[in-house]
Structure 1
Amino acid sequence: LALFKLGVHVDVVVTPCTFASGKETAFLLKQEGIRNVYPPERYWAIATGREKIPREQNGCVLFLGGDILHAKRLGKILNYPVAIYSTGRADKNVDLVFVPNQKVKSQVLERVKEEKVKIVGDLMLSSLSYRQLPKNNNQIALFPGSRGHMQSILPFFLAMAEEMKQRDSSLEFVISFSPFIGAEEIKNALKKPNQALGGVCGQFTSDRQIETNLGLKIPYYQNRQYEIMETSTLALTIPGTNTAEMAFYGLPMVVVLPLNIAREIPLEGLVGLIGSIPFVGPIFKEKLIWKKASTIKFTALPNLLVGKEIVPEVRGFLSADNLASFALEIFNDKRLLQEISKTLLTLYPENNADELIANTLVRRWGSARR
C-alpha cells in the first residue's frame, strides 16, 4: 500500500513456501494497490521464462520472505536489482537489505557490505497501533494458527479451556481465527480431535460461538486479532508471527509446540520440501524434529529477539490437562504477568518500516509509476 500511495505499479509473485496457508493469493487479490498476483503454481513457469510478467523500464524486485534464491531468480529474469527484507538471512549478491534492528544488521554484515544494509524497523508490525482499549482481566485468548495444524491445535486448545474453566469459573475465553481459515476447515477441526494430541469436539452456535461437548461456549472472530490482543490478559498460541504482534501489545502468552504432531509442523527449505513427499516425507520430518528439538532454545519471536525466555514456551509430548494447569498457574501470577507485559512492550516500538522501504526503493531505482 505504501508503494501504491507513491504511484508505483505493484505485481506480486507468491513463491512456493511450506509455511503458506494456500489462501494468500485470494487475500492479495482483495488488497488495494496490487496490479497482478501470480500464485505459487505459476511461479516455476515464470522462474524458467516460460511465462512473462510485465516489465517496466525502471523497477526492482522486493523480496519479503522465504528462500532468497527465488528473489535472485526473479531479479535475473526481469533484469532488475533485488532488495530483500531480512530477519537474519542475506546474500552478498543482492543489491539492498532492509533489516528490523541493529542485532539483525550485525548478523547480515557478516555476508553483506554495510552500504547495502539499512535499518527500517520491524515490517511485520509497521501497520499496528495502540487503540487504548480496556483490558479484560479474566479474558484468555486462543490463537490456534493459520496452517494445516490448526485442525489439531483447535480441539487441543478447547480441551485446555474446558479444564481451566472447571477450575476457575470466572475465566472468559475468546478464539481468534486467521483470515486465511475457512468455515469448513473449522467445522472439520471440531468434528474429530487428532488422536496423537487429543482434544474435544464442538460445534458452531447461531450467535457466532463454538460450543464444546461439555457445554463451554467461546466466541470466535476473524480479522479482529489486534483488538483481542489488546484486551486479553493471556494468550495461548503456537509459534509464529503473532507472537511478535502480541509482544507489541504487551500481551503475555504461553507458546505451545506439541511434538505429538511433529509431522504437521512446517519446516523451511529443502527439508520442508522433502517432508512434503507422500508417505516417506512425514516420517523423515517427524524423526528429524524429534532429534533436533532438544537443540532449539526458543521458537517464540520475542525470546529469539533477546536470546532468553521472556514468555514461557512449552514443547514436547503434551497433554491438555497438564498444560491447562501450567497456563492457569501463569494466569494467576499477576506479578509475573505484569513483568512479562512490561518487558514485551520494550521490544517492538511503533515504526513506519513500510513507508521507509517504499521511499527508499523509489528514490534508488525510480520504480515504475502509474
Structure 2
Amino acid sequence: YQRFLVTGRTQADWDWYARGAVLFLGGDQGFTCWIARRLGYPLVVYAEWQVRYSRWMDRVGLRTAQVYPQYQQQPEKFRLVGDLNIDGVMSRGPSPLAAGTWVGLLPGSKGLKLGLGGPLLMAVAEQLQAKHPVQFVLPVAPTLSLAQLAHYVSPANPNVALMGGITARLEERTDGPVLVTTHGTQVRLWTEFPAYDALAGCRFCLTTVGVNTAELAALGVPMVVLIPLNKIEVMKAWDGLPGLVMNLPVLGNFIARRVNPWLIRRTGLLAWPNLLAGRAIVPELKQVLTVADVVQASLPFLTDDDLHRTTRTQLLATMGGQGAAQKLVGLVKEVLGYSRDDTGFR
C-alpha cells in the first residue's frame, strides 16, 4: 500500500483503467485523497462523522447535515444521502424463530471481543433463563466458523474464569447447530446472513458496540450494549496513533493498560442510536462487568412492556429512512459522466 502511494504501482502490478472513480466508505480520508490523485480519478466520499480535505473531493455524500453544517454553500459538491449503515436493513417476512420469547446474543466477530464477550454471554444466558422463560439465538458472522466460535466459549479460552466461569460445547443437530452451556442452556446458532429476519423476532439483544447497534436500531430491536473492561489491555481498536502504538509487539499490552483508562474516561456514548440521539436510548454498560450487572440491565426489557414499546419507537425514529446507497451511487455516476437515469455515458 505504501509503495502504491509513492510509486503508483501495486505488488501485483495492476493495470488500471484510464477512467474510473475512487469511492470512500470509511477509514482515513487523507489517504483516499492521495489514492485519487495518484490514479487521476475523481473522488466520491461518504462522510459519516466529519469532512476533511474537502478541496480534494469531487462529491461528498453526508450522513446528516450536522456532519458538515456549511454544506449548502456548495450544493454541487455536498449532498445529504442518509445513513449507509442501515440501508437495506429490514425484515423481509415473519420471524423464522419458533414461538416464544427470544433474546439475541451478539458477542462480536473478532477475537478481541469474542474472548471476553463469548463466555460472558454464555453465563448471562444461563442466569436469564433461570429467571425468565426465554430462548437464545446467536447470529454467526460470515467471517467466523462454528469451530472458531466454539473455541471462544470452551475451557480453552483463558478468559472464561474472568467472565463468569461458564463454558459451552458445540452440537450439530438436524435442525441446526447449537451451543449447550455447562448447565444445559441452549443457544441456537443462526448461520444465514444477514440475520435480520431472526433478529427482528427477538425481544431484545445483548450486543457489543459496532455497526450491529445501528442495524438493531433500524429493526426497532431494543438492546443492552456491553463494553467489558475486565481485561483492559485487549482494547486496541482505537483510531489514529493510540491504536498504532497499542498494537506494537511486546510493548503494546503494557501501553494499553496505562493509556486505556484515560481514553475510556474521555469517550462518551458509543452505541449508534445513542450517538445519533445524543442521549442514552439504550443502556451502555462500560465497566468491569459481572453476570449480575448484565442480567439486572436486561430483565426490564423482558418484564416491562411499556419500556420495550417506548424504546422500540425511539430507536426507529432515531435511525430515519433508507435510500442512502442509491443516492451515493448517483454521485458516482455524476463524476463518471453518466446521466442519473441512463446506464450509458453522456
**Shorter-chain TM band:** 0.7 to 0.9
Deviates more, 1:234-243 or 1:97-106: 97-106
- Shift of the alpha carbon at 1:255? 0.3
Worse-superposed segment, 301-310 or 144-153:
144-153
| Paired residues for 1:279-290 under 5 Å | 279-290=250-261
Amino acid at match of 1:279: V
d(CA) in 2 for partners of 1:95 and 1:262? Answer: 41
Alpha carbons of structure 1 residues 123 and 54: separation in structure 2 relative to 1, 3 Å: farther
Q: Which amino acid in structure 1 is aligned with residue 168 of structure 2?
A: G
Which structure is richer in relative contact order (CA contacts within 8 A, separation 6 or more)?
1
Give 1:327 shift.
1.1
1:226 maps to what in 2?
Answer: 196
Residue identity matched to 1:206? E
Q: CA deviation at 1:247?
A: 0.7
Deviation at 1:62, TM superposition (A): 0.5
Compute the RMSD of aligned alpha carbons. Answer: 2.4
CA distance in 1 between partners of 2:216 and 2:100 (Å): 16
Secondary structure at the residue paired with 1:70? helix
How far 1:54 moved relative to its partner?
3.4
Letter in 2 for 1:213: T
User: CA offsets per residue over residues 15-43 of structure 1, 9 Å max, x none?
Assistant: xxxxxxxxxxxxxxxxxxxxxxxxxxxx3
Name the residue aligned to 1:156. 120
Amino acid at match of 1:214: H
TM-score by length of structure 1 reads 0.81
CA distance in 2, matches of 1:214, 1:224: 30
Larger deviation: 305-314 or 353-362? 353-362
Per-residue deviation at 1:124? 1.7
**Stretch moving more, 79-88 or 324-333:** 324-333
Alignment-derived partner of residue 130 in structure 2? 166
Q: Which of 83, 88, 99 does residue 122 from structure 1 map onto? A: 83
Residues 322 and 65 (structure 1), Cα distance of their counterparts in 2 relative to 1, 3 Å cut: same
Moved more, 289-298 or 333-342: 289-298
Identity %, equivalent residues: 25
Is 2:184 the counterpart of 1:215? Answer: yes
Identify the residue that residue 2 of structure 2 maps to in structure 1: 44
Given the alignment of the two structures, is residue 84 of structure 1 paired with residue 45 of structure 2, yes or no? yes
In 2, the alpha carbon distance for the partners of 1:132 and 1:187 equals 30
Of 307-316 and 176-185, deviating more is 176-185
- Which residue of 2 is the match for residue 190 of structure 1? 153
> Structure 2: 5+ residue runs without aligned partners?
none
Give the deviation of 1:196 after TM superposition: 3.9
Q: Which runs of 4+ in 1 moved over 6 A?
A: 367-370
CA contact (8 A) 1:59 1:366 kept: no
Does 2:235 correspond to 1:242?
A: no
> Letter of the aligned partner of 1:140 in structure 2?
V
* Structure 2 partner of 1:59: 20
Separation in 1 of the partners of 2:263 and 2:250? 21
Q: How has the CA–CA distance of structure 1 residues 44 and 283 changed in structure 2, closer, same or farther, with 3 Å as cutoff?
A: same
CA pair 47-198 structure 1, distance change in 2 beyond 3 A? farther
Q: Distance in 1 between matches of 2:127 and 2:200?
A: 25
TM-score normalised over the length of structure 2: 0.86
